[in-house]
Amino acid sequence: MSDLSYAITTFEHRPDSYSRGKPMWYAVVEVEKRTLMFSRYDDESQWYCDAYFGPNGFPHFCHGEGSRCCRKQVATGELKDLLDERLRQEVQRCSA
């Protein structure tokens, strides 16, 4: 278990994503005053990091929401587990 603090500030399902016209999950995660933005299409198993902003809001990278045309990092470890758990909760909530 790491000492990092994660907080999901946005988590939503977008029926028609901007870049591919496919259903996509979108999440914004705050990690120690840094902001990470992730996307995951319904037919994917990984969370891809679309953007990373430093503590002062400086953009370290921004590769386009849902874009898969460049090499992206994926969420791993506790962060992936956190996003996957939230996805399970949302899918369960929506199917109830």
**pLDDT tens, residue by residue, 62-72:** 887 778 777 78
Cα 17 to Cα 13: distance, rounded to the nearest angstrom? 9
Would 63 be classed as within a structural domain? Answer: yes
Cα 37 to Cα 50: distance, rounded to the nearest angstrom? 5
Task: Kindly give the confidence (pLDDT) of every residue in the chain, 96 residues in length, as a single tens digit, with 9 standing for 90 and above.
Answer: 567 789 999 999 988 766 667 889 999 999 988 999 999 998 999 999 999 999 998 888 888 777 877 778 999 999 999 999 999 999 888 887
The number of distinct structural domains making up the chain is 1
Would 95 be classed as within a structural domain? Answer: no
Q: Which helix (H) or strand (E) holds 37?
A: strand 34-41
- Are the C-beta atoms of residues 66 and 94 closer than 8 Å to each other? no
Three-state DSSP class for residue 86: helix
Would 53 be classed as within a structural domain? Answer: yes
- Are the C-beta atoms of residues 46 and 75 closer than 8 Å to each other? yes
Whole-structure pTM value: 0.87
Q: Which domain holds residue 48?
A: 6-90
